[in-house]
Structure 1
Amino acid sequence: MPSFNIGLTGINAASKDLEVTGHNISNSSTAGFKGSRAEFADVFALSYTGVSRLATGSGVNLAAVSQQFNQGDLEFTDNNLDLALNGRGFFVVERDDVREYTRAGQFLVDKDGFIVNSAGQNLMGYPPGVRSGELNEIRVTTGEAEPRATSEIEALMNLSAAAPTIPPDPDNDPSVDIEPSEPDTYNESTSLTVYDSRGGEHTVSLFFQRTGDSEWAVRAFKGDQPIDGDGATAGELVFTPEGTLDLDASTPLEISFDPENGAAEPLNINVDFTETTLYGDRFGVSRLNQDGFAPGQLIDVDVDSDGTVFARFTNGVNRSLGQVAIANFDNPQGLQPVGGTNWVETSSSGQALMGGAGETGFGLIQGGAFENSNVNIAEQLVNLITAQRNFQANAQVISTADTITQTIINLR
């Protein structure tokens, strides 16, 4: 009897629904997992001359198992290499030239410094400063960050307008010789550390001497030795009646000396006093910055919202290691799941459109977090109940058909 077959198709459909629901529930804690939905279609077996209004149908079949790519919740962690995509797109992972796509962003650094997932697949991205061409594995630099020699000092300070003028020398030289060991030859002083090309540290001291109502001489010393040439080349700061620096009338201070440690070249440093003022009755240093730094050790790796991976070093340097590549598809539901919370491209999905996080059509990356499964447990439990009742109802169809068959067989 057709009723047996119809009931059997219903039981098979209910079984598939239970399988899909069970798979969803079992992966409710799997990072980056996307739940699926069983979709069914009715079956009509009609001949060429069949009359559709008289057709009773032949049951049901499984039309598709449709993946649901709605966003999962983000879970924040203490691992900066855990990455979550908030929005559209997939991470690109590769091993042995086999490329796959994933939303699971639990990454770590392997023994060779490459960023990989738990399956050993490399996270792919663009090299620093490059946004085209072949993707590369992203590798974390484990060596030291190279030092940089100081080339400029930015000095923001206030010289006291009430400071006494130090009398000029007998030759009426506006730049009276300053002696660090003789406090009566200068009004104020301050010091900072500068770096040579090998990262060697050197302490430079700046001494200020008021030579007139609006004029100050400034000299640089390393220890007790001047490093700004002779007195005639010392810097001169000239201030306006309002107390700001007169750039046209002032003479820049340039520092030059040989580090004497085998460094590649002597240090040549320009000192910028542009924002220095002559106010009030107190000397104060608000900012005394220099642009050099010593070698640095890697302390951390951060990932920006656009996917740029930065290595942070102890000397304050942030070095870009590359940018995480993001893939998107015209039809994500056409991707083929291959296990490991990964997918591969198919003709149904269309070719991967590559880009970077934050661009049009691509989500943002959240470092220090990963995307949880998008499975709603409450919804899946309701699906279990529904599938169970469907199974029971279709089993009842077969039981009823069997009773009818027995009745017919027992006719005499």
Structure 2
Amino acid sequence: MLKSLNTAATGMAAQQTNMDVIANNIANVSTSGFKKSRAEFEDLMYQTQKEPGAATGMNAYSPNGVQTGLGVRTAAIQKDFTGGSAQVTKNPLDLQIEGSGFFQVLTPDGETAYTRDGSFKKDPGGRIVDKNGNVLQPEITVPADVAGLEVAPTGEVRTIAGVNSVPQTIGQIDVVNFVNPAGLKAVGKNLFTQTPASGQAIQARPGLNGTGYLAQGQLEASNVNIVDEMVNMITAQRAYETNSKVIQASDQMLQSINNLR
């Protein structure tokens, strides 16, 4: 009888984790470049009273056996890197990768991080940085006296000094891809870092080696579908409530045994 209490408790803990993941998805529904997550679960060990196929007599075998499950646990939280919709901003430093790939930025501690959020700015020195001041890699500095900035789909950055002037190339934006993007470590601030599970970063010009082209003047929206998340939230809530009722029922059964005279 006590096994059902522990088993239901693992179910409640699993659904609490599920709700935490769903809540984070909903909270980031308006975050540029955000990728939703999904909690994945697996069952725990089984208490075996009779092995499947165990002999039950002469030339007779148990077809199923007797195995009692001991609950559930969180096996993984999977990132979904499907693309989000495009949000047109007409800002020349807003960039979207139309397909696979990540922008590279250099953090203050000298580590290279990766992001899908292409809302870039200029720092006081004219360098292209993200909203937290991390410098886009390869580093590109925009002169102060330019009249316009153009980013080609293949990542070539050009400046225009005047109406009749010839565009000048000042840099090249490359993107990187990974064999297993889901293995990247999310560190907050729309950034990911490389791990042994993700594999090594593969740098390429946008549009080559399976990467997407760049689109200037637009951003990638979050890929969270609020309707799906609401349905998942209701499902998780009902599963949590049902597991709590299992604990109540088990407690009542134990109380009945305790009241035997």
Give 1:216's aligned residue: none
Residues 1:99 and 2:100 aligned together: no
Unaligned regions of 5+ residues in structure 1, if any?
126-136, 143-296
SS in structure 1 opposite 2:21?
Answer: helix
Cα–Cα, structure 1 residues 50 and 363, in superposed 2: closer, same or farther, change >3 Å? farther
Give 1:40's aligned residue: 41
Residues 1:302 and 2:150 aligned together: yes
Highest Rg: 1 or 2? 1
AA at the equivalent of 1:393: T
Give 1:116's aligned residue: 129
Cα–Cα, structure 1 residues 393 and 360, in superposed 2: closer, same or farther, change >3 Å? same
Residues 1:79 and 2:91 aligned together: yes
Equivalent-residue separation in structure 2 for 1:50 and 1:71 (angstroms): 49
Residues 1:402 and 2:251 aligned together: yes
Residues 1:23 and 2:24 aligned together: yes
Normalised TM-score (structure 2): 0.91
Once the two structures are superposed, the pairs formed by residues 353-364 of structure 1 within 5 Å of their partners are: 353-364=202-213
AA at the equivalent of 1:141: P
Equivalent-residue separation in structure 1 for 2:135 and 2:35 (angstroms): 21
- 4+ residue runs of structure 1 moved beyond 6 angstroms? none
Equivalent-residue separation in structure 1 for 2:83 and 2:220 (angstroms): 8
Percent identity of the aligned residues?
40
From 340, 354, 357, the counterpart of 2:189: 340
Give 2:141's aligned residue: 139
Equivalent-residue separation in structure 1 for 2:173 and 2:17 (angstroms): 38
Residues 1:369 and 2:218 aligned together: yes
AA at the equivalent of 1:98: E
Native 8 Å contact 1:38 1:62 kept in 2 = yes
Cα–Cα, structure 1 residues 63 and 50, in superposed 2: closer, same or farther, change >3 Å? farther
Equivalent-residue separation in structure 2 for 1:326 and 1:10 (angstroms): 42
Please list the CA deviations of residues 94-150 of structure 1 after superposition, one character each: whole Å capped at 9, or x if unmatched: 12311100000100111100000111001112xxxxxxxxxxx111122xxxxxxxx
Give 2:51's aligned residue: 51
AA at the equivalent of 1:310: R
Shift of 1:57: 0.4
Shift of 1:77: 0.6
Unaligned regions of 5+ residues in structure 2, if any?
53-64
From 171, 175, 178, the counterpart of 1:326: 175
Cα–Cα, structure 1 residues 101 and 8, in superposed 2: closer, same or farther, change >3 Å? same
Residues 1:14 and 2:15 aligned together: yes
Equivalent-residue separation in structure 1 for 2:17 and 2:207 (angstroms): 39
Native 8 Å contact 2:175 2:204 kept in 1 = yes
Shift of 1:341: 1.0
Please list the CA deviations of residues 247-278 of structure 1 after superposition, one character each: whole Å capped at 9, or x if unmatched: xxxxxxxxxxxxxxxxxxxxxxxxxxxxxxxx
Native 8 Å contact 2:103 2:116 kept in 1 = yes
AA at the equivalent of 2:85: D
Cα–Cα, structure 1 residues 301 and 8, in superposed 2: closer, same or farther, change >3 Å? same
From 231, 238, 242, the counterpart of 1:382: 231
Moved more, 324-333 or 90-99: 90-99
SS in structure 2 opposite 1:123?
Answer: strand
SS in structure 2 opposite 1:375?
Answer: coil
Equivalent-residue separation in structure 1 for 2:99 and 2:168 (angstroms): 27
AA at the equivalent of 2:94: D
Native 8 Å contact 1:84 1:370 kept in 2 = yes
Equivalent-residue separation in structure 2 for 1:384 and 1:365 (angstroms): 35
Please list the CA deviations of residues 151-172 of structure 1 after superposition, one character each: whole Å capped at 9, or x if unmatched: xxxxxxxxxxxxxxxxxxxxxx
AA at the equivalent of 1:380: E
> What RMSD in Å do the two structures reach over aligned CA positions?
1.3
AA at the equivalent of 2:141: R
SS in structure 2 opposite 1:56?
Answer: strand
Residues 1:311 and 2:188 aligned together: no
Equivalent-residue separation in structure 2 for 1:308 and 1:46 (angstroms): 62
SS in structure 1 opposite 2:244?
Answer: helix
Normalised TM-score (structure 1): 0.58
Native 8 Å contact 1:334 1:348 kept in 2 = yes
Aligned length: 246
